[in-house]
Structure 1
C-alpha cells in the first residue's frame, strides 16, 4: 500500500464497520433522553435511574481489555458481527421490559455489545491505513459515532412521544440485528493482498503477557489517563444526567434541553476531524492540547457550578461547546496506544486505554445519582463529583506524561527508533524508573 493512501476497498470496510459503532452510540446514549420516561415506566428515583447507566458503562469498561484480546485473537470482523447481534438483542429486550430488573438486564446486554465495537473499528483502521493517518481516522470514527448520538436526542424524543417506548426500541433493535449480515459479508480483517493470519489456539499465558506488556508500556498508561480525564464529563451529560440537569436543575422545557444536548454532537463532529488532522501532522502537540483542554474544562465547571440562580442559555451553549471537545481530545489516548505498541498488541492496548474514560464515567454517574438522592436533587452539589474526578485524572495524566517522555529519551539513548521525537525540557528526568508502579 503506497504511503499516505488506502484502496477504496479499505474505505468501504471502514464505512461498514463504523456504522456498527454509530448504532452502538445510539443505543448507549438513548437514555440521555429516555431516562425520565424510564423512571416513569419502571417507577424508580434518581439513584436507581443512575444504576442503568452505571451498569451499562461498567460492563463496557470491564469488557475493554477482554475485547482488545478478542480482537487481536479472532479479528475485528467476527467481533463486530457479534456486537451487532448482541446490541440488537439488548434493545429488543429493553423494548419489552416492564420491570426494573429486566430493564437492568437489557442495559447490561447493551453494554456488552457496545463494548465490542470501538476497539474493533480502530483495529481495522490500524490494519488498513498508514500509521500517520490513524489519528485522523480515529477522529472520523468518533465523529461518525456522534451521528448516533444525534439520532438519540431530538429524533428519539419525538419517537418516544409518538409511537412510544415499545415500538421505538423494538424497531431499532431489529434494524441492528439485521445489520450483522452485511458486517459478516463485507468486513475483512486485512487489506487486499495481505493474507489473514492463522488463528493459533488460545494460550492463557500468552494473553496475560499481552495485557501485561500493554499495561507496562508508559505510552499506553499515558493514553489511559488522557482518556480518563477528557471524555467522562461530556459522556456523563449525554448518557444520563444532562437532560435531568437542564430540566429539573435549570427549569428548561424537555424539548429545549434535548436541543441543547445536540451541542455535544455537533461540537464533537466538527472538532474531532479538525483535532485529528492537527495531531496527525504535529504529534508532539498531542499532550499539550490535552492539558489546554483540561485547564479550560476546570474553568467551565467553575462557572457552571458557581453561577447564582438559573444559568442562561447564552452561557450554557458555549460551556457545552467547549466541554464537547473532551470527546475528540480523548482520541489522543488511542493514538498513543497505536504509536507505542506493536500492531499485534494494538487491540489489547486500545482496550486498556478505552477503560479509562468509561471507568471515570461509571464512577461519576454513580456519584451524581447518590449525591442527588442525598441532597434532595441539588445539582450544584452533585456535579462536584465531576470536578473531583477531573482533578484526579489530570494529576495522573501529568505523572504519566513525564514517565512516557522519560521512556522516549531512554530509547533514543539506546539508539532505538521512537514514534515521536521530543525536545528535552528542564523538568524532564530521563533517569526516572519509568516502569515503576503509579
Structure 2
C-alpha cells in the first residue's frame, strides 16, 4: 500500500517532473538509432544483421538489468539510481560520438542500455511513494508521455541536426548535457515525501534475491503484467527503434526525410494515447484488460493488412496504421499498474522490474529476428516483419492464460473477504469456484 493518502503535494509533482526528465533523456538516447540507423551502417560499414545487433545489444542489456534495477531501487532508493543512470547515459553517448569501429560502437550502445535500464523503474517507484494509489496510473501515463517527447526529439529534429552538424558534434553535445543533469537530480529529488516513513527492503544475498524475485513472479498479477508488457510494446518499439525507417526507405521507396517524419506518428499517437488510457483506467480499473484485448485484436488486423498490401502502401493507410500500433506503448503501462496493485510497496520496484523485462525481451527477440530474416531473404521486409506477428500471437495467448488466472485469484480473495485492487464480474469462461485454488497455485 502506498504511504501517500489524499492528494499529492506540489513538492511531489516537482520531484516527479525532475525525475521524468531523466526518462525523457533515456528515451531520446534509446530511439536515436531510429533515424541514425542508415548513417550508422555507413559509418561502421555493416549490413542489416550487424546493424540490428546495435539494438539487440542495447535492449538486451536493458532487459537483463530490469530485475537487478528493481532490487536496487527498493534497496538504495530511486534518487541514487537515477543519478547513476544519467552518468552512464552521458558516457554511452559520448563513446558513440567518438566511435569509428563497430566494436566500440557496440560498447557505446551497451553502456547506453545500462543507463537506460535504471530509469523507468526508478521513476515509477517515486510515483508509488509520492502519489496516492488512485493517481498512479495517470501519473505513470504522464511519465510515458514525457518520454515520448524525447522520442519526438529523436525523429526529425535529430535527423536535421545530424545532417547539419554531423555525427560526432551531435552525439557529443547530448551526452555532455545528459551527464550534467545528474547534478539536478541529486539535489532536487527526494525518495519519499516529508513526514513519511520510508519502507526499506533489507539487504539480500544472491539466494535471498532469488527468493524475492520468485515470490514476485508467483503472483498471477505480476505475470499478467509481464505478458501484457511483452505483447503490447514490442512492435512499436522495434519499428521506432530501428526498422521503420529502413522499411519505408528500402521497401516502400520513400525518402529518408519522409520516413523520419512518419516516425512522428508513433510519438504523437503515444503522447495523446497515454494520458487518455491512464485517465480511463484510473477511474475504471476493470477496463484495463478489455483495453489490452482491443489493442491486440486491432494490431493483428493492422499487421495482416500491412504485410499483404500489394505495391507501395499509401500514406492514407500508413498514418492511421502507425497511430494504432503506437498505442502499444501506452497500453503497456497497464502492466505496471498490475504490478503495483498485486504487490506490497516494499517489493513494487522488483515487481515493476520483472514486468518491464517482458516488453524488452520481446523487442530484443523481434529486432534480432527481423535483421536475420532480412539477411536470409535478401531484404524482403514483408517476410521479415512476420517476426513481429509471431511475437504478437505468442504474447496474446500467454496474456489470455494469465488474465484468467489473475481473475481466479481475485475471486478467491473476494471469497476470503479481503480488500481487492479491482472488482470484476464473474463470466462463463472464468475458473469455476472449486478450481480457483488450483489455478492460482
Coarse TM-score class (shorter-chain normalised) = over 0.9
Q: 1:262 aligns with which of 261, 264, 268?
A: 264
Q: 1:190 and 2:195 equivalent? A: no
Matched residue, 2:285: 283
Give deviations 1:279-314, integer Å, cap 9, x for gaps: 000000100110000000000001100100110111
Matched residue, 1:357: 359
When the two chains are superposed, the root-mean-square deviation of aligned CA atoms in Å is 1.2
TM-score by length of 1: 0.98
* Partners of 1:24 and 1:117 within 8 A in 2: yes
- From the superposition, tell whether residues 196 and 407 of structure 1 become closer, same or farther in structure 2 (CA, over 3 Å): closer
- From the superposition, tell whether residues 435 and 2 of structure 1 become closer, same or farther in structure 2 (CA, over 3 Å): closer
* Partners of 1:4 and 1:132 within 8 A in 2: no
Matched residue, 2:372: 370
* Partners of 1:4 and 1:133 within 8 A in 2: no
Matched residue, 1:240: 242
- From the superposition, tell whether residues 211 and 13 of structure 1 become closer, same or farther in structure 2 (CA, over 3 Å): same
Deviation at 1:210, TM superposition (A): 1.9
Matched residue, 2:383: 381
Superposition pairs for residues 27-176 of structure 1, below 5 Å? 27-176=29-178
Give deviations 1:248-307, integer Å, cap 9, x for gaps: 110001111111000000110001001000000000010011000000000000110010
* Partners of 1:339 and 1:419 within 8 A in 2: yes
Alpha-carbon distance in structure 2 between the residues aligned to 1:282 and 1:206: 37
Matched position secondary structure for 1:63:
helix
Deviation at 1:340, TM superposition (A): 0.4
Structure 2: 5+ residue runs without aligned partners? none
Alpha-carbon distance in structure 1 between the residues aligned to 2:440 and 2:424: 19
Matched position secondary structure for 2:15:
helix
Matched residue, 1:301: 303
TM-score by length of 2: 0.97
- From the superposition, tell whether residues 235 and 199 of structure 1 become closer, same or farther in structure 2 (CA, over 3 Å): closer
Matched position secondary structure for 2:439:
coil
Matched position secondary structure for 1:337:
helix
Alpha-carbon distance in structure 1 between the residues aligned to 2:363 and 2:138: 25
Matched residue, 2:276: 274
* Partners of 1:218 and 1:434 within 8 A in 2: no
Q: 1:434 and 2:436 equivalent? A: no
Alpha-carbon distance in structure 2 between the residues aligned to 1:173 and 1:26: 11
Give deviations 1:407-428, integer Å, cap 9, x for gaps: 1111111222211111111111
- From the superposition, tell whether residues 199 and 297 of structure 1 become closer, same or farther in structure 2 (CA, over 3 Å): closer
Matched position secondary structure for 2:165:
coil
Deviation at 1:3, TM superposition (A): 4.4
Alpha-carbon distance in structure 2 between the residues aligned to 1:178 and 1:379: 41
* Partners of 2:240 and 2:263 within 8 A in 1: yes
Deviation at 1:205, TM superposition (A): 3.9
Q: 1:392 aligns with which of 391, 394, 402?
A: 394
* Deviates further, 175-184 or 406-415: 406-415
Alpha-carbon distance in structure 1 between the residues aligned to 2:314 and 2:201: 57
* Partners of 2:200 and 2:346 within 8 A in 1: no
Superposition pairs for residues 390-429 of structure 1, below 5 Å? 390-429=392-431
Deviation at 1:204, TM superposition (A): 3.5
Deviation at 1:4, TM superposition (A): 4.4
Matched position secondary structure for 1:6:
coil
* Deviates further, 421-430 or 110-119: 421-430
Deviation at 1:212, TM superposition (A): 1.1
Q: 1:21 aligns with which of 16, 20, 23?
A: 23
Alpha-carbon distance in structure 2 between the residues aligned to 1:197 and 1:329: 29
Deviation at 1:213, TM superposition (A): 1.2
Q: 1:210 aligns with which of 206, 209, 212?
A: 212
Structure 1: 5+ residue runs without aligned partners? none
- From the superposition, tell whether residues 232 and 199 of structure 1 become closer, same or farther in structure 2 (CA, over 3 Å): closer
Q: 1:332 and 2:334 equivalent? A: yes
